[in-house]
Amino acid sequence: MSVLGQELATIGVLVRRDLVRFARERSRVIGALLQPLIFWLVIGSGMSSTFRLPGQSQVGYLEYFFPGVIVMVVLFTAIFTTMSVIEDRHSGFLQAVLVAPGSRVSVVLGKCLGSSTVALVQGGMFLLLAPFAGFHFGQMQWLPLCAGLCFTCLSLCALGFAVAWWLDSTGGYHVVMSLVLLPLWILSGAMFPAPAGSAFALIARVNPMSYAVAAVRRGLYGAVLPAGMLAADHSVWSEVLVLISFALASTLLAVRVCFRKR
């Protein structure tokens, strides 16, 4: 088998393994969807009476919050799927993969692509609830929506891989990911809009998660995006470009960390 064939075979095995694990663990699928659903309904219902989007009296909080919950589904899935790197190390599976003919780059790509696919599937499953939030499938812009979700999944999974490879404890992994990613998600405009000219708006401009939420929000609304929805003023393609850059940087970081001896 050629070198390229060995690399593709390693990637394919790791992707297929994540998909098989995902299909067999039904409780994991239900939990990953049920928790954000409850979060969306409880928080959304509680905030609906007090939420007012500036200049948009017709937009309720359940509608505003829905794109952020989709990104949260992707975020939680990325955390749980890449945590298996630590479990695979303890079980000996990771050592077996590392002595296989494929390189460490193929290990990173295989794990990141497999985890990203799982995250994308679960995000797509939650997206089916969009009509209950007031969105219509026929009015959505599917290209920026799918591009935003795909690159967000890859970015978060590559970042999770890097942290999981660096650490040797699932507890420590959860702490690091929670301290890094959850604040970024909260400050992305997922839960509340950023007041113009505020420090929150400034943070949103440099926060990659705000571009992920914006891309999903823009895709859901299609051509008619209500004013005040975005945490920062940018175009759809600038959002996708930032997410591509984030995915590339996260993947390169994962590859570099993977070359550390374990």
More confident residue, 26 or 232: 26
Mean pLDDT of the chain: 84
SS3 of the chain? CCHHHHHHHHHHHHHHHHHHHHHHCHHHHHHHHHHHHHHHHHHHHHHCCCCCECCECCCCHHHHHHHHHHHHHHHHHHHHHHCHHHHHHHHCHHHHHHCCCCCHHHHHHHHHHHHHHHHHHHHHHHHCCHHHHCCCHHHCCHHHHHHHHHHHHHHHHHHHHHHHHHCCCHHHHHHHHHHHHHHHHHHHHHCCCCCCCCHHHHHHHHCHHHHHHHHHHHHHHCCCCCCCCCCCCCCHHHHHHHHHHHHHHHHHHHHHHHCCCC
When mean pLDDT is compared across 12-21, 163-172, 218-227, the lowest value belongs to 218-227
Q: Check whether 54 has a pLDDT greater than 70.
A: no
The reported pTM is: 0.89
Q: Check whether 50 has a pLDDT greater than 80.
A: no
Q: Check whether 38 has a pLDDT greater than 70.
A: yes
CA distance 30 to 126: 11
Q: Check whether 252 has a pLDDT greater than 80.
A: yes
